[in-house]
Amino acid sequence: MRILARLRARRDTAYDNTYHHKLQGRIWGALEDSPYDDLHDENRPMPFVYSNPFPPEDMREGDERTLLIASPEEELLAYVAADLKDNRELNIGEMPFHVEELTPVAPDVGDPGTSGTIETGTGVLVRIPPWRFEAYGLDIDHDEAEFWRPEHTMEPFRNQLEANLDKKHDLYCPEYLPGPSEVKGDLFDGYELLKTFAIPVEPTTGQTETWVLSKWRFDYTVRDDDHRRHLNLALDVGIGERNSLGFGFVNIQDHDE
Protein backbone atom coordinates (compact mmCIF):
# COMPACT_ATOMS: atom_id res chain seq x y z
CA MET A 1 0.00 0.00 0.00
CA ARG A 2 1.18 3.48 -0.78
CA ILE A 3 0.29 7.14 -0.68
CA LEU A 4 1.14 9.17 -3.76
CA ALA A 5 1.63 12.82 -2.82
CA ARG A 6 1.63 15.52 -5.48
CA LEU A 7 3.84 18.37 -4.28
CA ARG A 8 4.36 21.92 -5.50
CA ALA A 9 7.58 23.81 -4.77
CA ARG A 10 6.98 26.98 -2.75
CA ARG A 11 10.13 28.74 -3.98
CA ASP A 12 13.16 28.36 -6.23
CA THR A 13 15.30 25.68 -4.59
CA ALA A 14 18.37 23.56 -5.29
CA TYR A 15 17.63 19.84 -4.97
CA ASP A 16 19.00 18.49 -1.68
CA ASN A 17 20.33 14.95 -2.15
CA THR A 18 20.82 14.62 1.61
CA TYR A 19 17.07 14.82 2.27
CA HIS A 20 16.81 11.46 4.06
CA HIS A 21 17.00 12.45 7.72
CA LYS A 22 14.81 15.51 7.21
CA LEU A 23 12.05 13.65 5.39
CA GLN A 24 12.19 10.85 7.93
CA GLY A 25 11.67 13.44 10.67
CA ARG A 26 8.58 14.80 8.88
CA ILE A 27 7.04 11.31 8.70
CA TRP A 28 7.77 10.58 12.34
CA GLY A 29 6.22 13.94 13.13
CA ALA A 30 3.07 12.82 11.30
CA LEU A 31 3.01 9.68 13.47
CA GLU A 32 3.45 11.56 16.74
CA ASP A 33 0.83 10.52 19.33
CA SER A 34 -0.32 7.71 17.03
CA PRO A 35 -0.01 4.00 17.97
CA TYR A 36 3.18 3.98 15.86
CA ASP A 37 4.94 6.75 17.81
CA ASP A 38 6.63 4.30 20.19
CA LEU A 39 8.34 2.48 17.31
CA HIS A 40 10.62 5.46 16.82
CA ASP A 41 13.28 4.30 19.28
CA GLU A 42 13.07 0.58 18.61
CA ASN A 43 15.96 -1.21 16.93
CA ARG A 44 13.99 -3.07 14.26
CA PRO A 45 12.92 -2.58 10.65
CA MET A 46 10.28 0.13 10.55
CA PRO A 47 6.94 -0.43 8.76
CA PHE A 48 7.45 2.26 6.15
CA VAL A 49 9.70 3.39 3.35
CA TYR A 50 9.50 6.27 0.91
CA SER A 51 10.80 7.49 -2.40
CA ASN A 52 12.84 10.59 -3.02
CA PRO A 53 10.87 13.66 -4.11
CA PHE A 54 11.10 13.09 -7.85
CA PRO A 55 12.25 14.09 -10.36
CA PRO A 56 15.43 14.89 -8.39
CA GLU A 57 16.24 18.23 -10.04
CA ASP A 58 16.61 21.83 -8.97
CA MET A 59 13.19 23.47 -8.99
CA ARG A 60 11.49 26.76 -9.60
CA GLU A 61 8.58 28.05 -7.54
CA GLY A 62 5.44 26.26 -8.71
CA ASP A 63 7.24 23.19 -10.08
CA GLU A 64 5.64 19.84 -9.35
CA ARG A 65 7.28 16.90 -7.60
CA THR A 66 5.96 13.51 -6.50
CA LEU A 67 6.57 11.59 -3.30
CA LEU A 68 5.54 7.99 -2.56
CA ILE A 69 5.23 6.64 0.98
CA ALA A 70 4.73 2.88 1.37
CA SER A 71 3.81 0.62 4.29
CA PRO A 72 2.29 -2.80 4.96
CA GLU A 73 0.19 -1.04 7.66
CA GLU A 74 -2.82 0.74 6.12
CA GLU A 75 -3.52 2.46 9.43
CA LEU A 76 -0.02 3.97 9.47
CA LEU A 77 -0.56 5.44 6.02
CA ALA A 78 -3.91 6.83 7.18
CA TYR A 79 -2.19 8.72 10.03
CA VAL A 80 0.45 10.11 7.66
CA ALA A 81 -2.16 11.12 5.06
CA ALA A 82 -4.35 12.81 7.70
CA ASP A 83 -1.39 14.82 8.97
CA LEU A 84 -0.33 15.86 5.46
CA LYS A 85 -3.90 16.99 4.76
CA ASP A 86 -4.04 19.04 7.97
CA ASN A 87 -0.50 20.43 7.60
CA ARG A 88 0.10 20.87 3.90
CA GLU A 89 3.48 22.54 4.29
CA LEU A 90 6.03 19.80 3.67
CA ASN A 91 9.47 21.21 4.34
CA ILE A 92 12.29 18.79 3.57
CA GLY A 93 15.28 20.73 4.81
CA GLU A 94 15.74 23.62 2.39
CA MET A 95 13.15 22.20 -0.05
CA PRO A 96 9.75 23.71 0.83
CA PHE A 97 6.68 22.10 -0.74
CA HIS A 98 2.92 22.37 -0.52
CA VAL A 99 0.98 19.10 -0.58
CA GLU A 100 -1.48 19.49 -3.44
CA GLU A 101 -3.05 16.05 -3.61
CA LEU A 102 -2.90 12.64 -1.92
CA THR A 103 -3.90 9.43 -3.67
CA PRO A 104 -3.84 5.84 -2.37
CA VAL A 105 -2.17 3.32 -4.66
CA ALA A 106 -1.75 -0.45 -4.31
CA PRO A 107 0.99 -1.90 -6.55
CA ASP A 108 1.01 -5.67 -6.97
CA VAL A 109 3.55 -7.88 -8.70
CA GLY A 110 0.70 -9.95 -10.17
CA ASP A 111 -0.80 -13.39 -10.01
CA PRO A 112 1.40 -16.52 -10.01
CA GLY A 113 2.96 -16.87 -13.44
CA THR A 114 3.40 -13.13 -13.92
CA SER A 115 6.87 -11.98 -14.97
CA GLY A 116 8.18 -8.49 -14.48
CA THR A 117 10.93 -6.17 -13.37
CA ILE A 118 11.37 -4.29 -10.11
CA GLU A 119 13.78 -1.38 -10.01
CA THR A 120 15.19 0.51 -7.07
CA GLY A 121 14.10 4.12 -6.84
CA THR A 122 16.61 4.94 -4.09
CA GLY A 123 19.94 3.39 -3.12
CA VAL A 124 20.00 0.03 -1.37
CA LEU A 125 22.00 -0.32 1.84
CA VAL A 126 23.41 -3.81 2.50
CA ARG A 127 26.02 -4.31 5.18
CA ILE A 128 27.86 -7.57 5.83
CA PRO A 129 28.23 -8.26 9.57
CA PRO A 130 31.79 -9.11 10.72
CA TRP A 131 30.77 -12.57 11.95
CA ARG A 132 29.95 -13.46 8.32
CA PHE A 133 33.28 -12.33 6.79
CA GLU A 134 34.87 -15.80 7.04
CA ALA A 135 31.79 -17.59 5.68
CA TYR A 136 31.86 -15.34 2.63
CA GLY A 137 35.65 -15.66 2.23
CA LEU A 138 36.17 -11.93 2.74
CA ASP A 139 39.55 -10.61 3.84
CA ILE A 140 38.40 -7.52 5.72
CA ASP A 141 40.83 -5.74 8.04
CA HIS A 142 38.28 -4.24 10.44
CA ASP A 143 35.58 -5.56 12.71
CA GLU A 144 32.79 -3.19 11.68
CA ALA A 145 29.94 -4.11 9.33
CA GLU A 146 31.22 -3.89 5.75
CA PHE A 147 29.23 -1.99 3.12
CA TRP A 148 28.51 -4.35 0.23
CA ARG A 149 30.47 -3.61 -2.93
CA PRO A 150 30.62 -5.57 -6.23
CA GLU A 151 34.01 -7.11 -5.34
CA HIS A 152 32.32 -8.93 -2.44
CA THR A 153 30.38 -11.03 -5.03
CA MET A 154 26.64 -11.58 -5.19
CA GLU A 155 26.35 -14.26 -2.49
CA PRO A 156 26.52 -11.93 0.51
CA PHE A 157 24.25 -9.40 -1.20
CA ARG A 158 21.52 -11.99 -1.91
CA ASN A 159 21.85 -13.60 1.52
CA GLN A 160 21.74 -10.34 3.48
CA LEU A 161 18.84 -9.06 1.37
CA GLU A 162 16.82 -12.23 2.02
CA ALA A 163 17.69 -12.31 5.75
CA ASN A 164 16.54 -8.71 6.07
CA LEU A 165 13.24 -9.45 4.30
CA ASP A 166 12.80 -12.45 6.60
CA LYS A 167 12.85 -10.09 9.60
CA LYS A 168 10.24 -7.86 8.00
CA HIS A 169 8.09 -10.88 7.14
CA ASP A 170 8.23 -11.97 10.81
CA LEU A 171 7.12 -8.50 11.87
CA TYR A 172 4.44 -7.68 9.32
CA CYS A 173 3.00 -10.93 7.96
CA PRO A 174 1.02 -13.67 9.73
CA GLU A 175 3.42 -15.95 11.60
CA TYR A 176 1.92 -19.13 10.16
CA LEU A 177 2.97 -18.11 6.62
CA PRO A 178 6.49 -18.99 5.41
CA GLY A 179 9.05 -16.25 4.94
CA PRO A 180 11.41 -15.86 1.96
CA SER A 181 14.09 -18.21 3.35
CA GLU A 182 11.52 -20.90 4.21
CA VAL A 183 10.44 -21.58 0.63
CA LYS A 184 12.22 -23.05 -2.38
CA GLY A 185 13.40 -20.68 -5.07
CA ASP A 186 15.12 -17.31 -5.16
CA LEU A 187 13.40 -14.03 -4.45
CA PHE A 188 14.45 -12.70 -7.87
CA ASP A 189 15.33 -14.41 -11.17
CA GLY A 190 17.94 -11.85 -12.11
CA TYR A 191 20.02 -9.17 -10.41
CA GLU A 192 21.32 -6.35 -12.64
CA LEU A 193 23.57 -3.93 -10.82
CA LEU A 194 23.04 -0.43 -12.23
CA LYS A 195 25.61 1.39 -10.12
CA THR A 196 27.23 1.75 -6.72
CA PHE A 197 27.84 5.11 -5.14
CA ALA A 198 28.71 6.76 -1.83
CA ILE A 199 26.83 9.63 -0.24
CA PRO A 200 26.90 11.49 3.07
CA VAL A 201 24.06 10.36 5.34
CA GLU A 202 22.87 11.80 8.65
CA PRO A 203 21.60 8.65 10.44
CA THR A 204 21.03 10.62 13.65
CA THR A 205 20.88 14.33 14.29
CA GLY A 206 24.32 15.91 14.15
CA GLN A 207 26.13 12.76 12.99
CA THR A 208 27.16 12.43 9.33
CA GLU A 209 28.64 9.27 7.83
CA THR A 210 29.55 8.16 4.29
CA TRP A 211 27.51 5.14 3.19
CA VAL A 212 28.02 2.95 0.12
CA LEU A 213 24.75 2.20 -1.69
CA SER A 214 23.75 0.45 -4.88
CA LYS A 215 20.94 0.65 -7.44
CA TRP A 216 19.46 -2.44 -9.09
CA ARG A 217 17.06 -3.92 -11.58
CA PHE A 218 15.53 -7.24 -10.49
CA ASP A 219 13.67 -9.68 -12.75
CA TYR A 220 11.00 -11.90 -11.24
CA THR A 221 8.42 -14.52 -12.12
CA VAL A 222 5.79 -15.05 -9.44
CA ARG A 223 5.96 -18.75 -8.51
CA ASP A 224 3.00 -18.97 -6.12
CA ASP A 225 1.06 -17.01 -3.50
CA ASP A 226 3.96 -17.12 -1.00
CA HIS A 227 6.39 -15.65 -3.52
CA ARG A 228 3.82 -13.01 -4.48
CA ARG A 229 3.49 -12.02 -0.81
CA HIS A 230 7.28 -11.75 -0.42
CA LEU A 231 7.66 -9.53 -3.48
CA ASN A 232 4.72 -7.32 -2.49
CA LEU A 233 6.20 -7.03 1.02
CA ALA A 234 9.40 -5.71 -0.58
CA LEU A 235 7.27 -3.06 -2.33
CA ASP A 236 5.68 -2.09 1.00
CA VAL A 237 8.74 -1.93 3.28
CA GLY A 238 11.69 -1.67 0.88
CA ILE A 239 14.72 -3.92 0.55
CA GLY A 240 17.99 -3.84 2.45
CA GLU A 241 18.52 -1.76 5.58
CA ARG A 242 17.45 1.61 6.96
CA ASN A 243 14.30 1.89 4.88
CA SER A 244 12.88 4.50 7.30
CA LEU A 245 15.63 6.80 5.96
CA GLY A 246 14.24 6.20 2.48
CA PHE A 247 16.76 3.61 1.30
CA GLY A 248 15.73 0.52 -0.68
CA PHE A 249 12.48 1.93 -2.09
CA VAL A 250 11.46 -0.19 -5.09
CA ASN A 251 8.95 0.17 -7.91
CA ILE A 252 7.47 -2.23 -10.45
CA GLN A 253 9.08 -1.17 -13.69
CA ASP A 254 6.98 -3.44 -15.89
CA HIS A 255 5.18 -6.77 -15.84
CA ASP A 256 3.15 -8.83 -18.25
CA GLU A 257 -0.63 -9.06 -17.92
Active site residues: 41
CA–CA distance from 220 to each of 20, 66, 175, 216, 227 (Å)? 29, 26, 24, 13, 10
Is the previous residue joined to 55 through a cis bond, with omega within 30 degrees of 0?
yes
> With helix as H, strand as E and coil as C, how does the chain read?
CEEEEEEEECCCECCCCCCHHHHHHHHHHHCCCCCCHHHHHCCCCCCCEECCCECCCCECCCCEEEEEEECCCHHHHHHHHHHHHHCCEEEECCEEEEEEEEEEECCCCCCCCCEEEEEECCCECCEECHHHCCCCCCCCCCCCCEECCHHHCHHHHHHHHHHHHHHHHHHHCCCCCCCHHHCCCCCCCEEEEEEEEEEEEEEECCEEEEEEEEEEEEEEECCCHHHHHHHHHHHHHCCCCCHHHCCCCEEEEEECC
Residue type, 62: G
